[in-house]
Structure 1
Amino acid sequence: MSPPVATFNGKDFFDPGVVAAPKTSGPWSVDKVLATVQPSPPVEGTDSPVPFFHLLERLKTNKREGWRRFGIERGESISDHMYRMSLMSMFCPPELAAKIDLGKCMKMCLVHDMAESIVGDITPVDGVPKPEKSRREAETMDYIAHRLLGKVHGGVTGREIRAIWQEYEDSQTLDSLFVHDIDKMELLCQMVEYEKRCGKDLDLGEFAYVATKMVLPETKKWADEVLAERDAFWKGKDHVVHGELGVNGGVQDKKHEQQDAYYSREA
């Protein structure tokens, strides 16, 4: 893989702040990705969490890929997304907070995309089937829990991280449903923020689709507020948004099928 390059004062130089998810040939595996990590992959099997701390840096340097297709090259990172999710969860309405483990939900927000440190951010239009995406992410979480953290404090924290991630993936508990909704809510906020910053030159309406997949009335109320905010913004612009304002955004049927498969609760 070519080293990341930036230009300053007309000269190209190695940019240590750019860490892209590598492309591998043949069947995907954690070890194939680790072989590309520079300067070296994290040290495994120690009783120190420091190698894991270094791995987490990849969540700070990897960008959320969905925005790249619209020319947003310096958009939010994966960890940016998870950080705001965790803060959003703190504002869980009291009637819902009484039914969930809010502390665990905050952890789930910070853990749910952790596998992307190795897998990268796979989006609905990338052509990776949901079962394959799930396989890659599960293999990565096993690597983190056992090979990186298995000997750290007896492996307790590693097992907790792995269990919280699995609960999110299974989407069977109220805690996990809340975090799935928060995941979508954070995306909706970012969508509107990017659009407003770009004026009438950027229509990200296809991402508004995720609001249709939110399930809890408390979080759907938040989504309705953000979409109403978006509708008011576009109605004030000399611009036509195709389809139903705030939801379809001119998205083709094929893309909706990809989104349906991606957001399906069945692996």
Structure 2
Amino acid sequence: MSPSDLQGCLTFIREAERLKSVLRSAYSSTGRQESTAEHTWRLCLLAMVFESEWKELDALKILKLCVLHDLGEALHGDVPAVLQHQAPNKSAQERADLQTLMRTLPYELSSAFMALWEEYENAASPEARIVKGLDKLETILQHNQGDNPADFDYAFNLEYGNKYMGAHPLLQQIRALVDADTAQRGSKPPAPPQS
């Protein structure tokens, strides 16, 4: 790798660090808002845990899709799942932001990353459809596991991302378990205010 390409790659890595500070609307089990980077990490972990279930697919590509899927959020942040219907330009903004982040990468690498991001965004391959489903499941898992505000809308979880669950029978099995957790969590009365 040439010195200028090496420097460009390091600049990209430094810029991508911003994703660690992008907060999502989900809360951790300790009540702290999670970052997009934390969501991405657990999405990768989900993909690794269940890798043996989709042996016919490219596991490395699945992980690459997981890593890149929300990277564009490093610049303009996350749009909460419950508000995405109000953000018709979300995809275009993330695409533009990803291009900005990758401007210092060697052309071949930035082209490959953009192709993977587009593949995910358009659910254009079996791997991308698996990642789309896992992405929604990770979000719902966090919603169910989080120490959320008293007015948290658990009913939202029951519909969120259903269209991606048909990508694989395992996604449907996980979804059934997660939906049961959602129903149980949503039926609990709010915790009393702390004094």
Map of 2:49 onto structure 1 = 91
Structure number with the bigger relative contact order (C-alpha 8 A, sep ≥ 6) is: 2
Unmatched tracts of structure 2, length 5 or more: 191-195
Unmatched tracts of structure 1, length 5 or more: 1-45, 240-267
- 1:55 maps onto 2:15 in alignment: yes
SS at match of 1:122: coil
SS at match of 1:201: coil
Please identify which structure carries the higher helix content. Answer: 2
4+ runs of 1 displaced by more than 6 Å?
none
Q: What RMSD, in angstroms, separates the aligned Cα atoms of the two structures?
A: 2.5
Larger deviation, residues 225-234 vs 100-109: 225-234
Give the % identical residues: 25
Between Structure 1 and Structure 2, whose CA radius of gyration is higher?
1
Total equivalences in the alignment: 178
Q: Deviations over 1:230-252 (max 9, x none)?
A: 334455x447xxxxxxxxxxxxx
Map of 2:61 onto structure 1 = 104
Question: Matches of 2:138 and 2:36 in 1, distance apart?
Answer: 12
- How far off its partner does 1:102 sit? 0.9
CA gap of 1:73–1:118, structure 2 versus 1, over 3 A, is farther
Aligned AA for 2:56?
K
Which of the residues 131, 135, 152 maps onto 1:203? 152
Question: Matches of 1:77 and 1:189 in 2, distance apart?
Answer: 15
Map of 2:92 onto structure 1 = 135
Q: Give TM-score, length-normalised by structure 2.
A: 0.79
Question: Matches of 1:233 and 1:139 in 2, distance apart?
Answer: 37
Q: Give TM-score, length-normalised by structure 1.
A: 0.59
8 Å CA contact 1:211–1:220 kept in 2: the answer is no
Which of the residues 104, 116, 120 maps onto 2:77? 120
- 1:149 maps onto 2:109 in alignment: no
Question: Matches of 2:138 and 2:184 in 1, distance apart?
Answer: 19
Question: Matches of 1:220 and 1:183 in 2, distance apart?
Answer: 13
Aligned AA for 2:50?
C
